[in-house]
Amino acid sequence: MPLPQPSEALNVAPAGPTPSRTSLQGTLARMRARLGTHVLVVGGLCLAIAVILTLLDGNFPKKLLYSLCIGVACTTIVDLTRLAEAWLSDRLRQSRGLPPFDDLNGWRGALPGSVLAVLLGPGAGVWLVELFTRQPAESMLNLGSSSTRIIIAFSVLGTVFAVVVISTMERLSAARAQAEAAQRLAAENQLRLLQSQLEPHMIFNTLANLRVLIGLEPARAQAMLDHLIHFLRATLNASRTEAHPLATEFDRIADYLTLMGVRMGPRLQVQLDLPDALRALPVPPLLLQPLVENAIKHGLEPHVQGGRVTVSARADGAYLVLDVRDTGAGLGRDPAATAGTQFGLSQVRQRLSTLYGQAATLTLQAASDAAGGTLASVRLPTLDPAPPKTP
């Protein structure tokens, strides 16, 4: 069954909810959820074995008792081994300082469990028989009649078979659940990305401006509409394209800033600096968009006088540095603003780390000169001739 890899889902952007329960908790929960099936399969199998053996040489009650006791003993051994394995893997993660994680696979313990069940199951089963009948069964070292030996052999093999069947079933369903969760996460992330870019305030305010402009200056309204169309098309395509030239990135930012310029009037000044030598460099599409949006929304919009947004690109050794700078409110004044900013920032960080690993960074700091405001700076190893890794 082709399964989408989880890493593919995470490429889209922000981290989804990470499962924080431990492997032990997860395994216990799954055991509890499947208790009914488990009992039915093992019980049914033991019953079938007892019936078959009774057909051979009679004495159904004895056959049933033995096969049930051995079945229960083997199942218990397998399940205890699974729990022990889950507990061990939790301890192992803990000792490495990793957060608890339920990998949805408590069945790694099934194989050693089955071996243990073959070795210990018969003894434990016979002991159970003794416990129920309150009289000594045939001793383990001297298993009397050959029929008892056959019962034991059948029961053990049957139980192990049941374990293999159930574990395979469960592994498949766990894999399916994992695949579904990954797909859901990918879809959610894509939706969140899209929602953050097609922010309703931005869209409806732009449309409201357009509506007024149509009556006042039809030519300018048309130009504004063209920018809006470019912006929307780029936003909707961004998740489907791996990279586009830096010049295109700057064009899309220009679209957005032109739209904002119509809305904010003289309160917004824009400056875009893209050296010719860097125009063709591939960058992930709309990487800078959230940073430019933050500069407007949290930097300039709350500022009565407005200010300037400068977007610039420069080469720094084997790196490409992209700066988004505003002369607005600056960092840390409004707590609500910081919370809002975080989403855009974490989105950019997530994309950078999926595409470039440790090699790319995003920093946010107060601008160092007298004009004040905030400087967001992205550093990419993109001067490498190889294009960014395919998502």
Partner 1 sequence: MPRCLIAEDEPLLAHGLRQELASQWPGLEVAAMVGDGLSAVTQALALRPEICFLDIRMPGCTGLETAQALAEDWPDDAAFPLLVFVTAYDDYALQAFGAQAVDYLVKPVDPPRLAACVARLQKRLAERGSRPAVSGLEQTLDQLRTLLGASAGTVAGSPAGAAQRLAVIQAQVGSLVHLVPVEEVIYFEAADKYVRVVTAEREHLIRTSLKELLPQLDPQTFWQVHRGTVVQARAITSARREESGKVTLTLKGSTDKLTASRLYAHLFKGM
- Residues of this chain that bind partner 1 (CB under 8 A): 200-201, 204-205, 207-213, 215-216, 262-265, 267, 301-304, 306, 333-336, 338-339
For partner 1, which is the closer residue by CB, 184 or 333?
333
Q: What stretch of H or E contains 66?
A: helix 60-95
For partner 1, which is the closer residue by CB, 109 or 306?
306
Closest approach of Cβ 342 to partner 1, in Å? Answer: 8
Whose structure tokens read 């700091």?
365
For partner 1, which is the closer residue by CB, 263 or 325?
263
Closest approach of Cβ 263 to partner 1, in Å? Answer: 5
For partner 1, which is the closer residue by CB, 205 or 269?
205
Q: Are 328 and 298 in contact (CB under 8 A)?
A: yes
Using CA atoms, how far residue 214 sits from 206, 218, 224, 350, in Å, is 12, 5, 10, 40
Closest approach of Cβ 262 to partner 1, in Å? Answer: 7
What residues have CB less than 8 Å from 294, skipping those under 6 apart? 324, 340, 341, 344, 345, 374, 376
For partner 1, which is the closer residue by CB, 103 or 334?
334
For partner 1, which is the closer residue by CB, 136 or 266?
266
Burial environment of residue 174 by CB neighbours within 10 A (0 to 12, 13 to 18, 19 or more) = middle
Closest approach of Cβ 372 to partner 1, in Å? Answer: 14
- If you ran DSSP here, which 8-state letter would residue 265 be given? G
Strands (E), 23-128: none
Closest approach of Cβ 222 to partner 1, in Å? Answer: 15
Whose structure tokens read 């700057």?
250
Closest approach of Cβ 319 to partner 1, in Å? Answer: 33
Using CA atoms, how far residue 48 sits from 28, 35, 123, in Å, is 28, 20, 21
